[in-house]
Amino acid sequence: MIADNNMSDSQSARALAPRRHGEILRRLVSDGTVSITELADHFDVSRQTIRRDLKHLAERGQLDLVHGGATLFEPTEAAFTERRGENASAKASIGRAAAALVRDGMVVFLDSGTTTLAVAHALADRKNLTICTTSLSIALQMCRQPQVRVHMLGGEIDPAEEAAVGIDALEAISHFRVDVAFLGGGGLSPDGEVTDFTRNGAEQRSRMTATAGKAYFVLDSSKFGRLTPLRIPRFELAAGVIVDRRPPEAICEALKRKGPIVIVAE
């Protein structure tokens, strides 16, 4: 009756490669990692076979091989992504405070930086927003949200910020009418000014401060008293600074004299 070869009587037929591949990828996204031993056990095949599967998937860029198994594929680790974890809860609370200032339908500018990324997170489920940003991560994240329109300001990418800088980005700013801008900064100096690391960055933030309906600087407490080389011109036009805890009294005083209010999150 059953022609072809003999056997195939033993147990359930061996899973074909694509089945294993699918399951492996499913486990990866749910667990983050897979182990060769576990997989070989689970599929009842040799480790060598699993190794070949993983190698195959790795060649397609679907995962990263590690000793003993594989992990989710991450294009490359960068300084930026590492910074992301630092002071995460402070940034999240700043993000929520910032989001509270945004109403549906607004045009929002989001600067590059990990704190502004937290603001983006907090805005993720808002309706009918228009986001302008120079940050690749923010653009990528926000464009995946329904009901959010995203404009990326182009230009040369600064690898440290993973964001557009330079003349193109500067000029693009002038094309937009922005209701509210959330800007980062390198430090909050003792005399109540936000300072920056680069000339380009300072100029960009200065222009946005002057252009936006309201501009807020978002700064976690690690920036208090830190000095970086460049002043941000026209900083006094900013509407306020949003921080995770109250800055030293001297800084508060200085800020009060200049104009921007201090918003302490949570």
Binding site for DNA (CB under 7 A): 1-5, 7-8, 13-14, 16-17, 20, 35-37, 44-49, 51-53, 55, 65-69
For 175, half-sphere exposure in the C-beta direction (CA atoms, 13 angstrom radius) is 11
CB 105 within 8 Å of CB 98: no
136 binding partner (options DNA, a second copy, none; Cβ < 5 to 8 Å by kind): a second copy
Strands 230-231 and 180-183: unpaired
> Nearer to DNA by C-beta: 37 or 147?
37
Contact between 178 and a second copy per CB under 8 A: no
> Binder to a second copy among 6, 10, 11, 18 (CB under 8 A)?
18
Which amino acid is it at 173?
A: I
Dist. CA 237–CA 214, nearest whole Å: 9
Contact between 266 and a second copy per CB under 8 A: no
Binding mask 125-164 for a second copy (x = CB under 8 A): -----------xx-xxx-xxx---xxxxxxxxxxx--x-x
Which amino acid is it at 165?
A: V
Dist. CA 232–CA 216, nearest whole Å: 13
In angstroms, give the least distance from the CB of 62 to DNA: 16
In angstroms, give the least distance from the CB of 32 to DNA: 16
For 166, half-sphere exposure in the C-beta direction (CA atoms, 13 angstrom radius) is 11
If one counts every other C-beta atom within 10 angstroms of the C-beta of residue 186, the result is 22
Nearest partner of 130 among 142, 144, 117, judged by Cα: 142
Stretch that binds a second copy, among 19-27, 101-109, 189-197, 199-207 (CB under 8 A): 19-27
Dist. CA 117–CA 123, nearest whole Å: 10
> Nearer to a second copy by C-beta: 156 or 253?
156
Dist. CA 28–CA 146, nearest whole Å: 26
7 binding partner (options DNA, a second copy, none; Cβ < 5 to 8 Å by kind): DNA
Residues found near a second copy in the complex (CB under 8 A): 1-4, 8, 13-19, 22, 25, 32-33, 35, 37-38, 40-41, 44, 46-48, 59-62, 66-69, 71, 75-78, 85, 88-89, 92, 118, 121, 124, 136-137, 139-141, 143-145, 149-159, 162, 164, 168-169, 172, 175
